[in-house]
Amino acid sequence: MPINSPIIKIFSFLLIIMLATLACSLPGIPAPVPATETPATEVPTSLPLASPTPDPILPAYLPDLPIISNPALVQIHMLDLVNGWGATETNLVRTVDGGLTWYDMTPPGVSSLGYSASIFFLDENTGWVVIGASDFLNGTLEITTDGGSSWSGFFVPFTGGQIEFINTTTGFILVRRGAAAGSSAVDVYSSTDGGVDWMPVYVMQPGVGGDVNTLPFSGQKSGFTFLDSLHGWVGGSIPMDGNVYLYASSDGGHIWGKQNISLPSGYETAMTEVGSPQFFSGTEGVLPIRLMLDNMAYDFYVTHNSGVTWTSSSPMVSNGQYSIASINDFFVWDGGANIYVSHDGGQTWNSVATNIKVTDILMKFEFVDTQTGWLLTGDAANHHSLYKTLDGGSTWNILTP
């Protein structure tokens, strides 16, 4: 048979393919690279607004609701890569595409939200919104269990506060009853039926706050968290050197005791501000503490035993805001040229150069994983802008101008 016959050519071609495939499968032998491919050397200077995340699943009713373009957000909380809730002065809004589109989910009859509304969403379907009455004593709690498609309103004996639910039935709220210079009175209410009924589990009596089983009237209360139906924490600040303002309850909020926390080396005499502990499992959590000395710093204390003990990490010198994405991933930023990032639970920190320098007020700074975060800013003219990053804070694209 001639060597240039069609059969020989076909056989030779198939033999080459078989040998190439065999070579790619052998250990230590790399797959061939086409000659036209070259390694990428340029780093992109900007990212598209569209997020490389799974396509959102739109609830059936959502396309029929009005869209609010460029909402003037004063509150925002993202639940994951695509789902989040926010509030303007007059509207409750929801996004299912990472902040690109905002749907009007305002409960019927509600016309005022803003900073005063207390908002908590357990997931994309279940949420609670407390709206205070004009008497500043009572309010209305709006509840949704279907993503805002419908709402149920109930009278509550408080105007707002820090509200959170640990599941669809059990929730707590820290209610502020008034403040004096360096002091604040608070009550704690709990619900076991999804927010329909509330019972006071702790009522502060100013003047009795020095008792070991109570929260003190002195000090500002700014942090509030419950891990389960029994274990909760209240954090805050008091102008006292070397004092960590953290109180814990193990009986559902009835009795509170001061929890001892040691300050890191070099900050033993610092004044502190304790934020809300964030838990990522039944045992693992992070307690943010702001250290106020000559240099402002944050120390992120970690627990692996449900908050029984808290261990200092490595203080990060900054006067900015923080975001805790997981038990290992922390971000700190003052709006300047660099964001400071830790991916080992605060033991070491790295700086990430950004493409923007924020001169406005950082109202909210939030990451949901190591790469995806949002920034809400406001200026002196009460103009608010929303930004998003997809690369860990290097590049920020504006979503709401």
Using one digit for the tens of pLDDT, what is the confidence trace for 260-274? 999 999 999 999 999
Helix (H, G, I), strand (E, B) or coil at 80: coil
Hey, what are 92's tokens? 């409750």
110 to 120, 287, 299: CA distances (angstroms)? 16, 35, 40
Per-residue pLDDT tens over the stretch 333-355: 999 999 999 999 999 999 999 99
For 361-395, give the secondary structure using H, E and C.
EEEEEEECCCCCEEEEEECCCCCEEEEEECCCCCC
Per-residue pLDDT tens over the stretch 361-381: 999 999 999 999 999 999 988
Instruction: Judge contact between 355 and 46, C-beta under 8 A.
Output: yes
Helix (H, G, I), strand (E, B) or coil at 133: coil
Q: Give which of 106, 119, 120, 103 is closest to 58, Cα–Cα.
A: 103
pLDDT of residue 177: 85
Residue 85 has pLDDT above 50, yes or no: yes
Q: Which domains does the chain have, with CATH numbers?
A: 318-401 (2.40.10)
Per-residue pLDDT tens over the stretch 97-109: 999 999 999 999 9
Q: Which pLDDT band, with edges at 50, 70 and 90, does 34 fall under?
A: very low
Q: Which pLDDT band, with edges at 50, 70 and 90, does 45 fall under?
A: very low
The number of angstroms, rounded, from the C-alpha of 396 to the middle of its chain's C-alpha atoms is 18
pLDDT of residue 181: 77
Average pLDDT value for residue range 231-245: 96
Per-residue pLDDT tens over the stretch 52-78: 455 556 666 666 788 999 999 999 999
Q: Which pLDDT band, with edges at 50, 70 and 90, does 50 fall under?
A: very low
Per-residue pLDDT tens over the stretch 287-311: 999 999 988 999 999 999 999 999 9
pTM value is: 0.83
Instruction: Judge contact between 171 and 196, C-beta under 8 A.
Output: no
| Percent of the chain residues past pLDDT 70, beyond the cut | 83
Q: Give which of 386, 325, 390, 354 is closest to 52, Cα–Cα.
A: 390
Hey, what are 154's tokens? 């109930």
The number of angstroms, rounded, from the C-alpha of 17 to the middle of its chain's C-alpha atoms is 53
Q: Does 242 or 22 have the greater pLDDT score?
A: 242
